[in-house]
Chains A and B, each alone.
Chain A
Amino acid sequence: MFNSLKEWFTEGIPIAEGTKWFVDELTDKLSFLFNPIKEHFGNFMEWMAEDVLMAIPPVVVIIVVALLAFLLSGKRLGLAAFSVVGLWLINNQGFWEQLMSTVTLVLIASLLSVIIGVPIGILMAKSKTAEAIITPVLDFMQTMPAFVYLIPAVAFFGIGMVPGVFASLIFATPPTVRFTNLGIRQVSKELVEASEAFGSTGTQKLFKVELPMAKATIMAGINQTVMLALSMVVIASMIGAPGLGREVLSALQRSNVGVGFVAGIGIVILAIIIDRFTQSMNNKGDKA
């Protein structure tokens, strides 16, 4: 014991070795779990991107998106017009297939983030201990450079869309967790008391009072999560995730500023549309 302590002082604590050992062990021991995920989930996403979304003609997609934008933004034309022009431009530049891959990646990653993040946020709001443990974990997840997640992602799931989703899950889930926690804690104490005073069970209190009251805040968190997932798309292209990010990456590798710019614009357009969509869903919730 003393010897190894002395060794650490002279030769450095083997954190890197330890982490590598841990990830290797995890990859090995949990391969029964990772392999089916890699296979089935990967197939599902490819099927969705290539067989489902690509089967719909771009014109139909553009019209549906524009209609939704029109309705969600309170029957104003701005967002609908932007969607039509933006999506048409992406198609015109020949990036439609890449767009569909990116959309698949972002939607699946966001959906999973919400499914995982909201319950964790609720847990944090309900338990001080949980909050004390989870908060530093969230800080860690958000400040660690996103590239670092790519390494275990590849170890676990190989290359392609699945490790991309995995990496963006880690990177993009924290806002949903934080905002859910915040939203529930911000519900007026008197409202919570009212619900308890009338004899609500914990579940009734959560679903009839706390979650409806926290909805706007939770939606703001989800909006953040979606945007972070999108920003992860470019990074995930480094481990073979298809989509607009891969075009940016290959343009970088070939120093082709033109293609890089066009693919980048595609991501910006997608980001604006997704952002406005999630925001107007939130506003609509407020009015109702």
Chain B
Amino acid sequence: MPIIEAKGLSKVFGKNSKQALKLLDEGLSKEDILQKTGSTVGVNRASFSVETGEIFVIMGLSGSGKSTLVRLINRLIEPTEGSIFIDGQDLAKMDKKELRQVRREKLGMVFQRFALFPNRTVLQNAEYGLEIQGVPKEERSKKAKEALEMVGLGGYIEQRPDQLSGGMQQRVGLARALANDPEVLLMDEAFSALDPLIRKDMQDELIDLQSNMKKTIIFITHDLDEALRIGDRIALMKDGSIVQIGTPEEILVNPANDYVEKFVEDVDRSKILNAGHIMKRPETINIDKHGPRVALERMREEGLSSILVVDSKRNLKGYVTADDASEARKKDVRDIHEILRTDIKKVEKDTAMQDIFTIINGSPIPVAVLENERLVGIIVRGAVIAALAGDSEVNIDNV
């Protein structure tokens, strides 16, 4: 069962919210609705589910409704319509007291501009969630210290937040959320205010933290690279609607529509794509069955200048060139071993494309792609360049 499930979650800001929702059903755009009713559509019927222990990234540009969506999850903003289930309970139907309980026990939140209490020390900030639950002083200070140790701030507990750097302040924010030991962490652009280098460190640490503690994390960001880096799955938002939900690969490789495609076209594809994405089905001959004559015939059919040679178990033996095969036929050589060349370059199927780049450069023949020693495909130079350019037919089924 998913830990969080949203069904038709909507938020319309303004007075005529019900009417605006009706117009949405009729297919009017956000702008038309604003003109007709004066209401702004924040989130339009978002449905998704988040599995326990997953990092679920909600990504979109500013104004796409992602910050509103995350606030609908803990009801900092009241939904106009729809349900949000946490462990099977509908948050939207809870009274204030039940809601408070869920916020205290199950949901932690980390904010874009840290939102630390400046009048409290680092320790007191981390204690806040426990303090309002009435946890005794000693216990809460112990738990808060543990959380601060976890984010590497054990030595700063008596400082004030404004004495710390941005990165450290956000660690306090993280510790404050972790001290409650919530099931789900909501992170609203948590790293967006940090320097690029520190942001990368924090991303790595978050991934480590997640794999150690198995927290479910819902992470909001406008940065696609960040989303691809940390997300198990990504939901892409535009104008308040979720346009596509999928793994980073699915989003990159099979954009659901033009918008997503446009969004992902600037991504450095060489970091995300691997050999499996760009390889082609290889033409081969079997070393035990076929001779130079068959090899030559095959190459002629496919218009190739060389062909790979495998055994019956598809273990790669080498390759033969068209010139060699033609020569061998003239001399009536029957054994393919005589003309077999073995100086072929090999890569594993999960080799990143940026690494393939250097291998394939300067190799006159295609690179063989292996998986468990078996030949699964070949990569020609053109495919690498095309994939980098972003206009190739890369096939997710190969993965």
Contacts and interface: CB of A to CB of B under 8 A. Distances in A.
A26 interface: no
Contacts of B290: none
A213 B161 CA distance: 14
Contact of A201 (B71, B74, B115, B132): B132
A198 B117 contact: no
B13 interface: no
B109 interface: yes
Contact of B100 (A193, A194, A201, A209): A201
B119 A194 contact: no
B183 to A, nearest CB: 14
A199 B129 contact: yes
A284 to B, nearest CB: 13
Residue among A194, A195, A200, A204 with most chain B CB within 10 A: A194
Most chain B CB inside 10 Å of its own CB: which residue of A191, A193, A197, A208: A197
Contacts of B180: 198
Interface in A241-262: none
Interface string A168-204: 0000000000000000000010110111111111001
A197 B76 CA distance: 7
B152 to A, nearest CB: 21
Contacts of B116: 194
A194 B111 contact: yes
B178 to A, nearest CB: 12
Contact of B104 (A190, A193, A194, A199): A199
A209 B129 CA distance: 12
Contacts of B111: 190, 193-194
B100 A197 contact: no
Given A199-B101, A199-B103, A194 B115 contact: yes
Given A199-B100, A201-B100, A208 B115 contact: no
A199 B132 contact: yes
Contacts of B105: 199
Interface string B111-130: 11101111100000000110
A39 to B, nearest CB: 44
A260 B382 CA distance: 100
Contacts of B19: none
A223 B131 CA distance: 33
A94 interface: no
Nearest to A202: B96
Contact of B115 (A190, A199, A200): A190
Nearest to B186: A197
Contact of A198 (B71, B112, B119, B129): B129
Contacts of B118: 213
Given A193-B115, A209-B117, A198 B132 contact: yes
A208 B118 CA distance: 12
Contacts of A78: none
Interface string B84-109: 00000000000000001111110111
A195 B131 CA distance: 11
Contacts of B103: 196-199
Contacts of A191: 115, 117
Contacts of A194: 109, 111, 115-117
Nearest to B113: A190
A196 B133 contact: no
B140 to A, nearest CB: 12
Nearest to B77: A193
A192 to B, nearest CB: 9
Given A196-B103, A197-B76, A199-B101, A204 B115 contact: no
B115 A188 contact: yes
A201 B131 CA distance: 12
Contacts of A119: none
B115 A198 contact: no
A75 to B, nearest CB: 22
Interface string A195-221: 111111100100011001100000000
B228 to A, nearest CB: 27
Nearest to B129: A198
B76 A196 contact: yes
Contacts of B108: 197-198
Contact of B76 (A193, A208, A209): A193
Nearest to A204: B132
A168 to B, nearest CB: 32
A194 B76 CA distance: 9
A188 B128 CA distance: 17
Nearest to B106: A199
A201 B104 CA distance: 11
Contacts of B74: 197
B133 A197 contact: no
A197 B106 CA distance: 11
B169 to A, nearest CB: 12
Interface in B130-156: 131-133
Contact of B128 (A198, A212, A213): A198
Interface string B40-76: 0000000000000000000000000000000100101
B119 A199 contact: no
Interface centre among A188, A199, A200, A209 (most CB of B within 10 A): A199
B133 A199 contact: yes
Contacts of A188: 115
A197 B117 contact: no
A156 to B, nearest CB: 42
Nearest to A197: B109
B282 to A, nearest CB: 55
B329 to A, nearest CB: 77
28 contacts: A188-B115, A190-B111, A190-B113, A190-B115, A191-B115, A193-B76, A193-B115, A194-B111, A194-B116, A194-B117, A197-B76, A197-B103, A197-B107, A197-B186, A198-B104, A198-B129, A198-B176, A199-B101, A199-B102, A199-B129, A199-B132, A199-B133, A200-B100, A201-B132, A208-B132, A209-B117, A212-B119, A213-B118
Given A190-B112, A193-B71, 10 more contacts: A190-B111, A191-B117, A194-B115, A197-B107, A198-B104, A198-B132, A199-B105, A199-B129, A201-B100, A209-B117
